[in-house]
Structures are given as structure tokens and as C-alpha cells.
Amino acid sequence: MIEDKIVKYKENLTLALNLANNRYADHEYYENMVNRLEKMLLFYENLKLWKENSME
């Protein structure tokens, strides 16, 4: 489940980065979205590490 979320956030982050660079897009909106997605991705990556370390 956590791995699925990580993959999903990575895909969404790639899309948001592409949209942020689109000349017709609302740059501020997509830059904020990129920041939120990066934070959520970091959260799930840390959660995965914590879960792996707690099982040892």
C-alpha cells in the first residue's frame, strides 16, 4: 500500500512539474501543487523506511 502511494505521488509530481513549465498553465498553482506533492512523497518514503526499520 505504501509503495503504491509512493509510485502514485511520483507520477503526479512528474505531471505537475510538466504543467508548471507549460506556458499556458497557472504557474503559481502548479508550483504550489509540486511543493505539496514533494512533501507527501517525502512523508510516504519516510513512513516506508520507518516501517522497514521497525520490523527488524
What separation in angstroms does the CA of 14 have from each of 36, 47, 49, 54?
Answer: 13, 21, 22, 30
- pLDDT at residue 23, rounded to an integer: 84
3-state secondary structure of 34: helix
| Whether residue 11 has pLDDT greater than 80 | yes
Q: Model pTM greater than 0.85? A: no
* pLDDT digit string, tens, across residues 14-40: 999 998 888 888 889 999 999 999 999
